[in-house]
A = this chain, B = another copy of it.
Amino acid sequence: MPSNPEWVKALKPSGPQGSELLAQERAKSDLNVDQLAEFMFTKEVLQRNERILNILLAEPVFDKSQNYFRGRNARIEAALARGKRLQQLQVQHNWSKDEFETANSLISEPTPYGLHASMFLVTLREQGTPEQHKLFLEKAEAYKIIGCYAQTELGHGSNVRGLETTATWNADDKTFTIHSPTLTASKWWIGSLGKTANHAVVMAQLFIAGKNYGPHPFVVPIRDLKTHEPLPNVHVGDIGPKFGYNTMDNGFLLFKNVKIPHINMLARFSSIEPKTNKYVRPSNPSLIYGTLTYIRSHIVLQSGSVLARGVTIATRYCAVRRQFQDRDAPATETGENQVLNYTMVQVRLLPLLAATYALHFTGRGMIALYNQNQQRMNSTAAPESRRAPGPEELNAGTDLLADLHATSCALKALASTTAAEGLEVCRRACGGHGYSSFSGIGSWYADYLPTVTWEGDNYMLTQQVSRYLLKSARAVLKGNAGDNDTTRILSEFIRRRDIGAAFDVIGNDEDLVAAFAWRVSFLTFEALRHRDEDKQSWNSLLVDFWRLSTAHAQYMVVKNFHEALNDPDTKKSVEPNTITLLHKLFRLYALNTLEKEASEFYSSAAVTVRQITLARTKAVMTLLEEIRPHALRLVDAWKFPDWQLDSSLGRYDGKVYEDMFHRASELNPLNSVVFDPYPDSKVLFKKDERQNLRSKL
């Protein structure tokens, strides 16, 4: 790599230096960053992060300095090497699941083992019999076999019932034939399948004597354990480059009448009795949606931290970057103004900062509720079933579980959309430099984007939420509703709707939360009227359902954030000025959301036009001004190490320009090439001193 000449090395950014500006920012606020961080994550977790970080930093394979320069081939090659080393370290240090996840989160890129370590092992564990555990799970845990979970097909995403791959029971030799009858039956998007896996759990339509019993899971060997070449009549490969997630080998998979033995159908919940050739029904199918609720709750919790990375980077850079003078500044002031001082920047960034905390506390609330519910279920019910069902398989369980399920759907959709779109807002708030890969936001955003589609497409999920809310509303009207928060707010609306609402959204926090609840209830009964009285088609109501689900999720976020702040535990854990500040973030999130969704709040008569105008022009603007001095410490409390962010703009020390320049000038392999610039010349390069593009790992 080229090195800068001496005279360039001697150059500094014009003053004040980024490091000075960030030091000033930190001095402006009295927020106790460490205390807040411990309250959010616990001391143990923060210490664990640091311990694992030090292990990774000592390993050359995890060096990130060439990440942004590599093309897909080189990136996935590096990711494979990292995945291997990570597994060695896991064995060596005997890492727990949490420790292993911490390492992955610090590395911040998917590895080709990602789906082996998660869905393949989980599915074998939860859907396999003890005999199958011995046969498959033990080898998989030891990485003697590497697998993936193959459900989605080229022509079939969310609709699991539409899968085309078949598994036909052969009564004569007691085997299954796995077959892909069409091109659209090709498995597609399957993580770790493209190049890495030698086994797949394949979801296929089970046929017995010509009758279809629906999708079931089968363990199918797909590559030779020694040569790693595809087995006969298996066509498998990588599906090619994507908008992000390019360190993962998402794959395709086709079968031409491949036979597997009886034991390869995962048989904990349903199976075939080989002597009689009879299908044995799944036990307790109503319990199956625990796992999805759990996964979605984690997406909600994670979304706060996903977004916080972008907010951290943008906030730090906007405190370092200066542009123009304040128009009303006295003529004696000559310096340029920090970009973070402009209200147009604040109004984009600070509500997102508020959202990171709102989502964090909401996710925490969701997971607490999930755990409570699991305990209750475990004490009364059969062992939990944990396979991943399609959205159509979901039926109401107990009242609380159904409520939890609907809430997790609504929140997953809102939280992941908020995080994804918020990251792009953060990137743009960095101006031109946000477009550089060195901002660290673009690739993070691109890698996160699938979350809005997987584990339930965000738009599809809103139908499930609305179905639940309509059902609850019918129950409330009939007077046979169970007791949970949803039925409480719906009942309260019915009780008061003729009296009318008069919420003091600007002066009173309980009223602010109640206004969000009122809007949900109003929209629910509106939708119910359209469906049940006006007999509108389901399809014609999808837009209303999406609005309704969003409203419900926003209410849950506002409510959870409010409850977290009033929790006695919070008061014990952090200083009063921290609570005051978090409280401002709560109000900013709620009032900013209310203002953005003004039209629904009006039409439901939850607020007046005057209140909205006040929220916009006074309350929100005042909150921005009050939160501004604490912005830097509030992002510091998320405690992202620089190595994790891998961002020139988001450096803790503010040395933004030095870092940009170093990466461009000294790490950039393109600068080892000399172009021939003349259109008529026969060569492209006059000189090419790039190392072989293949990284040496």
Contacts and interface: CB of A to CB of B under 8 A. Distances in A.
B154 A657 contact: yes
Given A81-B684, A657-B155, A435 B457 contact: no
Interface in A237-265: 237-245, 249, 252, 254, 256
Contact of A457 (B424, B431, B602, B680): B431
Interface in A193-229: 194-198, 227-229
A679 interface: yes
A428 B442 contact: no
Nearest to A673: B195
A453 B436 contact: no
A4 interface: yes
A609 interface: yes
Contacts of A227: 674, 686
A454 B428 CA distance: 12
A74 interface: yes
B155 A195 contact: no
B238 A183 contact: no
B435 A159 contact: no
A54 B98 CA distance: 58
Contact of A198 (B76, B453, B677): B677
A684 B182 contact: no
A196 B12 contact: no
Contacts of A72: 69, 71, 670
Copies of this chain, whole number: 2
A595 interface: yes
A537 B453 contact: no
B73 A157 contact: no
A342 B539 contact: yes
Contacts of A11: 180, 182-183, 254
Contacts of A241: 68-69, 436-437
A8 B154 CA distance: 14
A679 B87 contact: yes
Nearest to A71: B71
A449 B427 CA distance: 11
A664 B238 contact: yes
Contacts of A41: none
Contacts of A118: none
B539 A669 contact: no
A401 B564 CA distance: 56
Contacts of A617: 544
B326 A539 contact: yes
A542 interface: yes
Contacts of A550: none
Given A162-B336, A431-B457, A540-B343, A71 B73 contact: yes
A162 B337 CA distance: 12
Contacts of A327: 537-539
B344 A543 contact: yes
A406 interface: no
Interface stretch (A125-133, A184-192, A286-294): A184-192
Contacts of A539: 326-328, 341-343
A235 B5 contact: yes
A670 B194 contact: yes
Contact of A228 (B12, B182, B671, B675): B675
B14 A155 contact: yes
A614 to B, nearest CB: 11
Given A674-B229, A697-B684, A184 B14 contact: yes
A76 to B, nearest CB: 7
A138 interface: no
Contacts of A109: none
A452 B436 contact: no
A242 B437 contact: yes
Given A162-B323, A684-B697, A543 B603 contact: no
Contact of A679 (B74, B83, B538): B83
Interface in A518-551: 537-544, 546
Contacts of A156: 323
A220 to B, nearest CB: 16
A336 B694 CA distance: 46
Given A254-B8, A670-B249, A546 B344 contact: yes
Contacts of A428: 452-453
A197 B4 CA distance: 20
Contact of A343 (B84, B457, B542): B542
A625 B438 CA distance: 45
Contacts of A69: 72, 240-241
A152 B323 CA distance: 13
Contact of A252 (B336, B347, B664): B664
Nearest to A158: B323
25 contacts: A12-B182, A13-B182, A13-B184, A14-B164, A81-B684, A112-B675, A154-B660, A155-B321, A157-B323, A157-B431, A158-B323, A183-B658, A186-B661, A195-B675, A198-B677, A229-B674, A238-B670, A242-B435, A242-B437, A327-B538, A328-B539, A342-B539, A343-B539, A543-B621, A599-B599
List the 6 closest A-B pairs by CB distance, nearest first: A71-B71, A598-B599, A87-B679, A243-B442, A344-B542, A327-B538
Given A347-B543, A424-B424, A599-B599, 7 more contacts: A7-B235, A88-B680, A143-B680, A146-B677, A245-B435, A432-B454, A599-B612
